[in-house]
Amino acid sequence: MKKIHFREWGIESPRYWGMLAVLAAVVAIAGFATLYMEHEGHWVTGMNNQIVWGIPHVFAIFLIVAASGALNVASIGSVFGKKVFKPLAPLSGLLAMTLLIGGLLVLVLDLGQPARLIVAMTTYNFKSIFAWNIYLYVGFLAIVAVYLFTMMERKAMGYTRSVGTFAFVWRLALTTGTGSIFGFLVARQGYDAAIMAPMFIIMSFAYGLAIYLLVLMFTFKTDGRELGDKLIARLKNLLGVFVAAVLYFTVVYHLTNLYGTENHAYEAFILRDGGIYTTLFWGGWILAGCLIPMGIIYHPALGKSRGALVAACSLVILGGFAAIYVIVIGGQAFPMAMFPDKTIIASGFYDGVNGDPLSYSPSLPEFLLGIGGIAVALLATLVAVRVLRFLPESLADDVADPHAAAKGA
Amino acid sequence: MSKQTDQGRRDFLSRAATAAAATTVAPGVFLHSVADAAPRAEPVTSKVRWGMLIDTTKCADGCTACVEACDVENGLDLIGKPEGASDAEWERQRPRWIREVKLKDNLTDRITTMPMLCQHCEFPPCVDVCPTGASFRRADGLVLVDRHTCIGCRYCMMACPYKARSFIHENVLLKSTAVPRGKGCVESCTFCVHRLDQGETTTACQDACSKDGHQAIIFGDLKDPNSAVSQAMSKYPTVEVRADLKLNTGVRYTGL
């Protein structure tokens, strides 16, 4: 097996700085949007006392979930001993960190009192999964940083497997914690389901890998580095399995709900009568997020095309946003079942009169804050691959996996 | 002669010292004694559990006396619609601690009118989920928010089965001294804690309901068998809203 060398991302300076400038501009706009929201208060957002979590939470949760999933490629290499994945690991660890930072920034900047972050870091209620998540998220950043160090520093390489295993277990706990934010909410019909935690884990596998693949293909193509077809085929098939698993968990979640009469109204809302939420469920979560990508991945001709793979990854990401939107906003828009055998026919404070959903129309500043989180993640990634050796010089099949290449030839 | 002068100076100095001591120490002593005298200086205990019984058969359709009284008592009426906000959005964003709901039974079409407010659960989900412990339950059963440690994450609002909590979406220009509030924190019904801590035993909503002659709200100590609320609860069948969650609410309803 040839030795694999890592090298900084070497695209021409003007192009590189141009990309950074665009991303920095997006971050700056998001910064102004955030200052505006903080200064005026949340009334300038579409969030209200009926729908309390909005677009910022959709972006934040998506990024946090994707972050833990992005680490999977590294885990497969060092925990499950698949040699071919090892050169892919540094970028995987890097994306896990940058996506998490982007997501956390969005989450924190949407707080009613963001300046009190220090309170959140020093005063804990350990019955709250949120409090645990603070440890899980910060701990994840630290552990992945050490994990990256063991990958990139020759003297520490002996520890890669043990640190990688620890990081893998930690990331499972992290996504369980994120899924449990909803799983533990007994009050609302759409949540309060133990399946939320494993479903979030499998979603993280798919979203994280889709983002990873896009970043890998982009950085390699722009820098003229070779990316072997066999390697891409392996990653692509892995994505297909993850997306199928997301579909499976989605089906089980809704079938379980459909069995119990108490959940029929909620299921009718999401699956049939929920307007935007129904559209996003079928068109976004199921069709764009699962069925079309699977069709592309397993199509005999399309499955071999890089362009089609880019489309599949992009659709998985869009479907992911739709899924999180349906879970976070749809779950709140459906009125709470306070009086199970009665219909609320009038209310002084929007209780879902006659079963009407609660209304939420996201505002521009909210979107800008969310997009800013993505821009921060990408900006940090592009800076890191430029200054440190995260990317292998070549991932041609005879370099990355000579054994497979020889067998195929 | 000189002796007399000395005596005069000594008297002056001693009186001045006494006066100085009195002016510096006395206010502290006075305040201390006032504080001692007021009931709020005593720590609350679990010997009391504040609770409320709402008789829905006495709650009048179309009456909003309790809602208006709550708004005035807790300064919610001081919060104005921000300039530029739409009326519809403002109605969704404004804080509300108590609201009227009208229900129709799905089987019998029977109509019930009743107020909904924080149910002051014994096992409040809002307290469970609060990451900083800002949501807390006081020994005497009140579920409150410490607005010094609330970071405004709204997880408590996601967790509350009664939609009882409100987030302050706007800058607060005017507020009552008894009920301070700030933008970016969550709040909800306190059972008029500022009254209870001064030794009063009624809430604003209860007073307003009684004043209008409905008497639909009875408030008091659930642990005192002789309190009006305990007496009424022992006489009539009462229910909890979402009893399935087993939160042991401090607010109970009859005729629901």
Confidence at residue B16, expressed as pLDDT on a 0 to 100 scale: 72
Interface of A with B in 228-257 (CB under 8 A): none
Q: How confident is the model at residue A6 (pLDDT cuts 50, 70, 90)?
A: very high
* Chain A nearest C-alpha distance from B141 (Å): 19
Residue B103, strand partner residues: A344, B112
CB atoms within 10 A of CB B92: 20
B-chain residues within 8 Å CB-CB of A262?
Answer: none
* pLDDT < 70 stretches in chain B: 1-9, 12-13, 19-40
Confidence at residue B7, expressed as pLDDT on a 0 to 100 scale: 67
**Within an 8 Å CB–CB cutoff, is residue A13 touching chain B?**
no
Report the distance separating Cα B216 and Cα B210, nearest Å.
7
B-chain residues within 8 Å CB-CB of A181?
Answer: 155
* Chain B nearest C-alpha distance from A208 (Å): 26
Report the distance separating Cα A229 and Cα A242, nearest Å.
20
Least confident stretch, A90-99, A150-159, A292-301:
A150-159
CB atoms within 10 A of CB B210: 15
Report the distance separating Cα A61 and Cα A106, nearest Å.
9
Same domain, residue pair B51 and B8: no
A-chain residues within 8 Å CB-CB of B125?
Answer: 185-187
CB contact under 8 A, B149 and A119: yes
Interface test with B, best of A35, A339, A347 (most B CBs within 10 A): A339
Render pLDDT for A163-189 as a digit per residue (tens, 0 to 9). 999 999 999 999 999 999 998 899 999
Same domain, residue pair B30 and B66: no
Cβ neighbourhood burial of A327 (10 Å; 0-12, 13-18, 19+)? buried
In the chain, the amino acid numbered B166 is: S
Report the distance separating Cα B4 and Cα A119, nearest Å.
66
Report the chain B residue with the minimal C-alpha distance to residue A344: B103
CB contact under 8 A, B155 and A187: no
What topology is assigned to A6-251+368-408 in CATH? Formate dehydrogenase/DMSO reductase fold (1.20.1630)
Confidence at residue B4, expressed as pLDDT on a 0 to 100 scale: 56
Question: Hey, CA dihedral for A382, A385, A390, A395, is it positive or negative?
Answer: positive
Residue with tokens 């896990």: A96
User: Is residue A337 pLDDT above 50, yes or no?
Assistant: yes
B-chain residues within 8 Å CB-CB of A348?
Answer: 64, 67, 96, 99-101
Report the distance separating Cα A320 and Cα A324, nearest Å.
6
**Within an 8 Å CB–CB cutoff, is residue A404 touching chain B?**
no
Same domain, residue pair B31 and B51: no
CB contact under 8 A, A128 and B155: yes
**Within an 8 Å CB–CB cutoff, is residue A184 touching chain B?**
yes
Residue with tokens 């609330």: B150
A-chain residues within 8 Å CB-CB of B150?
Answer: 112-113, 116
User: Is residue A331 pLDDT above 90, yes or no?
Assistant: yes
Least confident stretch, A232-241, A394-403, B35-44, B81-90:
B35-44
Report the chain B residue with the minimal C-alpha distance to residue A332: B158
* Chain A nearest C-alpha distance from B63 (Å): 11
CB-based contact B215:B60 (threshold 8 Å): no
DSSP string of A219-248, one letter each residue? HHHHTT--B-HHHHHHHHHHHHHHHHHHHH
B-chain residues within 8 Å CB-CB of A50?
Answer: 92, 163
Among A117, A181, A348, beta carbon nearest to B67:
A348
Q: How far is CA A237 from the centre of its chain?
A: 19
Q: Name the percent of chain A lying above pLDDT 70.
A: 98
CB contact under 8 A, B150 and A112: yes
**Within an 8 Å CB–CB cutoff, is residue A311 touching chain B?**
no
Report the distance separating Cα A117 and Cα A38, nearest Å.
14
- The tokens of A405 are what? 């290449």
Report the distance separating Cα A245 and Cα B132, nearest Å.
36
**Within an 8 Å CB–CB cutoff, is residue A134 touching chain B?**
yes
Interface test with A, best of B103, B112, B170 (most A CBs within 10 A): B103
Among A125, A186, A341, beta carbon nearest to B105:
A341
CA angle A53–A55–A56, rounded 5-degree value: 80
Q: How far is CA B194 from the centre of its chain?
A: 6
Confidence at residue B39, expressed as pLDDT on a 0 to 100 scale: 57
CB pairs under 8 A between A and B: 176
The count of structural domains within chain B is: 2
Q: How far is CA A380 from the centre of its chain?
A: 16
CB contact under 8 A, B132 and A188: no
* Chain A nearest C-alpha distance from B88 (Å): 10
Same domain, residue pair B168 and B203: yes
Among A41, A114, A348, beta carbon nearest to B171:
A41
CB contact under 8 A, B132 and A52: no
Mean pLDDT calculated for residue range A50-56:
97
**Contacts of residue A44, Cβ cutoff 8 Å, sequence gap at least 6:** A36, A37, A363, A365
User: Is residue A255 pLDDT above 80, yes or no?
Assistant: yes
CB contact under 8 A, B163 and A40: no
Report the chain B residue with the minimal C-alpha distance to residue A120: B132
Among B128, B165, B242, beta carbon nearest to A338:
B242
CB contact under 8 A, A49 and B85: no
In angstroms and rounded to an integer, the radius of gyration of the C-alpha atoms of chain B is 25
CA angle B206–B207–B212, rounded 5-degree value: 100
For residue B66, the enclosing domain spans: 44-254
- How is chain A split into domains, by residue range? 6-251+368-408
CB-based contact A257:A331 (threshold 8 Å): no
CB atoms within 10 A of CB A165: 15
* Chain A nearest C-alpha distance from B154 (Å): 7
CB contact under 8 A, A344 and B103: yes
Mean pLDDT calculated for residue range A112-127:
93
Same domain, residue pair B73 and B21: no
* Chain A nearest C-alpha distance from B30 (Å): 36
CB-based contact A38:A356 (threshold 8 Å): no
Interface test with B, best of A188, A189, A336, A342 (most B CBs within 10 A): A342
Q: Which helix (H) or strand (E) holds A169?
A: helix A160-183
Same domain, residue pair B32 and B82: no
At B94, phi and psi to the nearest 5? Answer: -70, 150
At B252, phi and psi to the nearest 5? Answer: -125, 160
Same domain, residue pair B163 and B205: yes
DSSP state for residue A49 in the 8-state scheme: S
At A203, phi and psi to the nearest 5? Answer: -60, -40
Nearest C-alpha neighbor of A125 from the set B137, B180, B163, B97:
B137
Q: Helices A160-183 and A129-152, interaxial angle, to 10°?
A: 160
**Within an 8 Å CB–CB cutoff, is residue A261 touching chain B?**
no
Report the distance separating Cα B10 and Cα B12, nearest Å.
5
**Within an 8 Å CB–CB cutoff, is residue A305 touching chain B?**
no
Collapsed DSSP state (helix, strand, coil) of residue A328 = helix
Render pLDDT for A299-328 as a digit per residue (tens, 0 to 9). 999 999 999 999 999 999 999 999 999 999
